[in-house]
Amino acid sequence: MIPANYFMILSVILFVLGAVAFFIKRDLITMFMSVEVMLNAANLAFIALTRSAHSLDGQVIVFFIITVAAAEQKKTIKTEDIKLMKG
C-alpha cells in the first residue's frame, strides 16, 4: 500500500505546474486547461486524504468538484467565443 504522502507530493507538483502554466501561457483555452490541472491536483489530494482519514466524505467533495468543473466549462467556452468574435 502506497503511503498517502507520495500522493500529496504528486498533487503539490501538479498544482504548481498548473499555476505555472496559467501564468506562462498566452492563449485563453490553454489557461482554462491549466485551471483544470489545478482542480485535478486538489482532487488527488482529497482522494489521498480520504483513504488515510478513513471516511468517504472526501470522495463526495471530489464528485462536486468535477460537477462544478463541468458546469464552469460550458460558460467559459461560450464567453471565449464572444470575446473572439468581438476582438
Partner 1 sequence: MGYFLFFLLAALCVGSVLGMIISKNQAYNALFLIVAFASLGGLFGLLEAPFIAVVQIIIYAGAIMVLFIFVIMMINIRTGIPPEKKKWTLYLSLGLAVVLIIELIVAIKAAFTLPVSTETLEAGPVSLGRLLFTKYLYPFEITSILIIAALVGAIVLVKKKEKV
In the region spanning residues 16 to 35, those forming contacts with partner 1, defined by CB under 8 A, are 16-21, 23-30, 32-34
CB-based burial label for 3 (10 Å; 0-12, 13-18, 19+): exposed
Using CB under 8 A, count the residues that bind partner 1.
Answer: 71
Contact 29, 48 (CB under 8 A): no
| Residue 12 interacts with partner 1 (CB under 8 A): yes or no | yes
| Residue 10 interacts with partner 1 (CB under 8 A): yes or no | yes
Cα atoms in the 13 Å half-sphere on the side-chain side of 19: 8
Site for partner 1 in 56-85 (CB under 8 A): 56-57, 59-60, 62-64, 66-75, 77-85
